[in-house]
Amino acid sequence: MILVKIKETIARIKARYESANEVFLIYQRLLGYIRPYRVRFSWAILMNMLYSATSAGVAYLIQPLMAQIIEAKDLRFLTLLVLAVVLTNILRAVVNFFGTYLLRMVGLSVVRDVRNHLYGHIQKLSLKFFSGTHTGVLTSRITNDVNLITVSVNAIEGIVKDPLTILGLIIVAFTMDPKLALFTFVVLPFIAVPVSQIAGKVRKFSTRGQVKAADITTILMETFSGARIVKAFGMEKYETERFEQENFKLFKTLLRSARVKAMNDPIIEVFATVGLALVLTYGGYQSFKDKAYFSHFISFSVAIAMIWPSIRSITKIFNSLQEAIAAAVRIFDVLDTKAEIFDKPDALELQPIKKNVELSHVSFAYDDEPVLRDINLKVKAGEVIAFVGMSGGGKTTLVNLIPRFYDVTQGSITVDGTDIRDATVGSLRSQIGIVTQQTILFSDTIKNNIAYGTHDMPDKAIFAAARAANAHDFITRLPHGYDTMIGEQGMRLSGGERQRISIARAILKDAPILILDEATSSLDTESEQEVQKALENLMKGRTTFVIAHRLSTIKYANRIVVLVSGKIVEEGTHDELLAKSGEYKKLYDMQFRDTGGAGFHEPVPTR
């Protein structure tokens, strides 16, 4: 039984040591962001050291001056005492201002740098990371969590100032009366135990609170962006109740944290009262016996009175740091996520395609779940290849491998004989234009959306791209033409208009390789005709990979590739595949049994 207790105690001590070491390493890593601002930081530390020195100086000056006032009854020393206190406090105020201001400047700079670093790192991560992490969680990391680490940087002020102030005043106290100081400070070690326990709970509740805050951010992003669906299905009440439930969970977590933190001051007050009682008992008794001791007692009391606020402050800082550490753990968790798609040290600049794009024995799996199996395909420059097949067949995954949104699990993809993994990501993607079913536009002007990624283009080129995309006419009819703000996700435009803006963007990029991922599947017939004309202009002279949804898109294809369960099962022209009476014929008949396959403008199999 005793042995078990000993093992449990050792385990607790080890856990606390590991936790303390983890906190130290995280805080050390945070402080690494201070390095660019070390000159300002050094001046700030110097100012705070002067502030702490003046605190001890005030307490030290009182004793000799009070002794002269009481014992010699010389009022001139009263004037000196007042002057000394006033001048010292003015100096304290000045150095406190500069020390605080410089540290806050460094702190805000660090927070800005951490936020920039975090956002920049997230931008470098692959689509696999984004598919497994909700945007609400990432938003919470960049906003809520980064804001919380502000506390850790601002806490440097207290971490420097308060311990130095306490140390200086303790030295003054022991200089004046070692025995009385010993009586007073014997309570300090006992404060450490409850304060450390409180800090541990604060960190735990802070972590929970940040998780709940991220959940709320997720709900907000989903419901605001999907407001049309929420209203269409009459789910306003449901979503309100869901939000209220998550908000109440956050409230309970924060309330628990507040209750734990509220225990901090009462604990300090209890120990401060015990220390004060010892001071009054011993010091009062000594003053009663020896009147000359009274000046020591007054000076000592001033020193003690100045110590306890610093002790209270540093325990609060310690609790706040736990919140910051919890936030930093979550931030560094993202920063430590390694980018799966990156440039090799000797990566080449990929030149524009002249010969072919070749997929050789390409296989791909999501977390050990096979999606593509042994894909072999050679596409000549300028050729149009269409992919068809049932949903889940791997068509979108296949075209996502070409710009290296993901890397192949096995095999290789080459452009003119160069493995795309041996080329820089930037040079590869600069040669690929993409138009997807889900049109991505930004809350900006039409002109800036068309010129996205090519901001150095002259207006003349932007207008030409819009004309080629059959977008110029509707743009010029808008209130501010090309300078019209289109709102979030381009919600002020129709589906066809948004798609033509997206096509104009791809035309302006003028990339030799083009990927069309069901670019007309969500449009009505009239919009599709307008968009199709734009797509015809876009596809001219480009090596094009098309995920087919309508025959009006794939009728231009040199070859149609049929994918089933991640494998190529058929390949050929429309007529050749129909003649085979295989998988393509089955899919074709499913879509065209009402028309007998007569029209090229009817739907073809979706993925």
Q: Are 415 and 357 in contact (CB under 8 A)?
A: yes
- How many Å from the N-terminal Cα to the C-terminal Cα in the chain? 65
pLDDT at position 601:
38
Q: Dihedral angle at the C-alpha atoms of 75, 79, 80, 85, nearest 10 degrees?
A: 130
Do β-strands 418-419 and 432-436 pair in parallel, antiparallel, or remain unpaired? unpaired
pLDDT at position 77:
61
Written as one letter, the residue type at 503 is I
Do β-strands 513-517 and 543-547 pair in parallel, antiparallel, or remain unpaired? parallel
pLDDT at position 596:
46
CATH C-level class of 37-335: mainly alpha
DSSP annotation of 603: B
**Beta partners for residue 357, in sequence order:** 379, 415
pLDDT > 90? residue 218:
no
HEC string for 503-561: HHHHHHHCCCEEEEECCCCCCCHHHHHHHHHHHHHHHCCCEEEEECCEHHHHCCCCEEE
Pick the CATH number of 440-510 from 3.40.50.300, 3.10.180.10, 1.10.287.130, 3.40.640.10: 3.40.50.300
Q: Are 26 and 325 in contact (CB under 8 A)?
A: yes
pLDDT at position 74:
58
Mean pLDDT over each residue of the chain, to the nearest integer: 77
Please compute the mean of the pLDDT values over residues 319-338 and round it to a whole number: 82
Choice among 477-481, 524-528, 571-575 with the minimum mean pLDDT: 524-528
Q: What is the third-level CATH fold of 348-431+512-607?
A: Rossmann fold (3.40.50)
**Beta partners for residue 559, in sequence order:** 385
Choice among 56-60, 89-93, 204-208 with the minimum mean pLDDT: 56-60
Please compute the mean of the pLDDT values over residues 126-149 and round it to a whole number: 80
pLDDT > 70? residue 383:
yes
Do β-strands 567-572 and 559-564 pair in parallel, antiparallel, or remain unpaired? antiparallel
Exposed (0-12), middle (13-18) or buried (19+): which is 290, by Cβ within 10 Å?
Answer: exposed
Alpha-helical segments (H) within 263-376: 264-289, 294-335
Give 502-518 pLDDT, tens digit per residue: 888 888 888 899 888 87
Q: Sign of torsion, CA 372 373 374 375?
A: negative
pLDDT > 70? residue 253:
yes
pLDDT > 70? residue 225:
no
Report helix, strand or coil for 522.
Answer: coil
Give 301-311 pLDDT, tens digit per residue: 777 777 777 77
Percent of the chain with pLDDT over 90: 9
Backbone angles phi, psi at 359, to 5 degrees: -105, 120
pLDDT > 80? residue 389:
yes
CB atoms within 10 A of CB 280: 12
Residue 547 in tokens: 């995920």
Do β-strands 432-436 and 513-517 pair in parallel, antiparallel, or remain unpaired? parallel
DSSP annotation of 564: E
DSSP annotation of 226: T
Q: How confident is the model at residue 28 (pLDDT cuts 50, 70, 90)?
A: confident
Q: Which residue has the higher pLDDT, 167 or 566?
A: 566
Q: Sign of torsion, CA 572 573 576 581?
A: positive
Q: How confident is the model at residue 377 (pLDDT cuts 50, 70, 90)?
A: very high
Angle between helices 178-185 and 294-335 (to 10 degrees): 40
Residue 551 in tokens: 């025959």
Residue 455 in tokens: 């901001």
d(CA 60, CA 176): 9
* One fold for 37-335 and 348-431+512-607: no
pLDDT at position 594:
42
- Helix or strand (DSSP H, E) at 115: helix 76-124
pLDDT > 60? residue 606:
no
HEC string for 153-193: HHHHHHHHHHHHHHHHHHHHHHHHCHHHHHHHHCCHHHHHH
Give 331-363 pLDDT, tens digit per residue: 888 888 888 888 888 898 988 888 899 999 999
Nearest to 494 by CA among 483, 486, 504: 486
Exposed (0-12), middle (13-18) or buried (19+): which is 239, by Cβ within 10 Å?
Answer: middle
d(CA 403, CA 175): 73
Length of the chain: 607
Residue 414 in tokens: 């080459």
- Helix or strand (DSSP H, E) at 22: helix 2-31
Name the percent of the chain in helix, strand, coil, to the closest 5.
Answer: 70, 10, 20
Contacts of 178 (CB under 8 A, 6+ apart): none
Please report, for the chain, the start and end positions of each structural domain, with discontinuous segments joined by +: 37-335, 348-431+512-607, 440-510
Percent of the chain with pLDDT over 70: 74
Please compute the mean of the pLDDT values over residues 437-441 and round it to a whole number: 76
Give 575-597 pLDDT, tens digit per residue: 888 888 888 888 877 765 544 44
How crowded is the C-beta side of 31, counted as CA atoms within 13 Å?
Answer: 12
**Beta partners for residue 517, in sequence order:** 436, 547
Q: Are 239 and 286 in contact (CB under 8 A)?
A: no
